[in-house]
Amino acid sequence: MPRLFRYLTWLFAGMLALVAVAWWLSRPAAPDAFYVPPADRPAGPGALLRQEAFLHGVPADARAWRILYTTTRSDGTAAVASAIVMASREARSERRPVIAWTHGTTGVVPGCAPSLLEDPFANVPALQQLIENGWVYVATDYVGLGTVGPHPYLIGEGEARSALDSIRALRQMEGIRVGDDAVVWGHSQGGHAALWTGIVAPDYAPDMNILGVAAIAPASDLPTLINAIQATPVGRIMSAFVLRSYAAAYPDVEFDELRSRVEVVAGKRYLWPLPGGTRSAVLRGRGPAGRR
């Protein structure tokens, strides 16, 4: 019996150690000093603060940079975001068209930016074709994934402003010349962001010529989507991300009040516009953490 007890004790300790190692390895990378903005940054959105060469995961026939730039949150307050810019190494005299990529869910805290991930171009379709056609790729990290948060997860106008201001900052870069035309392209959360970029652009960025939007599997009908996936681990994680984001952005959403029962989230126009001018929606769940 004592031998069995010792065996179980060591087994339990080993399992705890494995869990601790897995947790440690899964933590997001700590953003480096590049993501800390200068104290004397410009007041307006879309100003390029810094750029530096980016090498991680870049195809051999392309060159890339990471950039830091000013933007605004959905309520108009000043913020800073980061992005990756990439273009073909082939010399071109003409100005290049722009593809603004808006990425899918990678997390909601600093360290989750694609520019900090092991594979910064994961889930970007047709990347090689983009390079071969001479288009310039600019991929916002959004606010709060490399820079200080909160991150506007599925808050459409907050995501869209980060995307539009990344294009403005790109235009100010040294060593690359781009034209006035741009297309916005995104997947999942980024599909949601791409749609909102098209909606917001005429008022927020009338200086841009957005030719079109391509939204791949966009998170567009959020009440239906979140209700449909509540019984899955991914659904619970996504719900937590939404609540965290909305609680940070809107004073009438209390995360502590809702974390044990996903009941009411203020449906601002930044999340989903509803028929008949309705601006609210209900996400219903039962039991702890929205469990059905």
Cα-Cα end-to-end distance for the chain = 42
| CA distance linking residue 275 with residue 167, whole number of Å | 32
The pLDDT of 158-178, averaged and rounded, is 95
For the whole model, what pTM was predicted? 0.80
Enumerate residues 6+ apart whose C-beta is below 8 A from 90.
61, 134
pLDDT in tens, 30-76: 899 999 999 998 989 999 999 999 999 999 999 999 999 999 999 99
The token pair at 24 is: 């440690």
Looking at the chain, the whole-number percentage of residues with pLDDT higher than 70 is: 77
List residues bridging with 90 in a β-sheet: none
pLDDT in tens, 81-118: 999 999 999 878 789 999 999 999 999 999 999 999 99
Which of the four pLDDT bands, split at 50, 70 and 90, describes residue 258? low
pLDDT > 70? residue 133: yes
More confident call, 198 vs 292: 198
Selection from 241, 248, 253 nearest residue 105 by Cα: 241
Which of the four pLDDT bands, split at 50, 70 and 90, describes residue 284? very low
* Size of the chain, expressed as the number of residues it contains: 292
Q: Dihedral angle at the C-alpha atoms of 186, 191, 197, 200, nearest 10 degrees?
A: 180
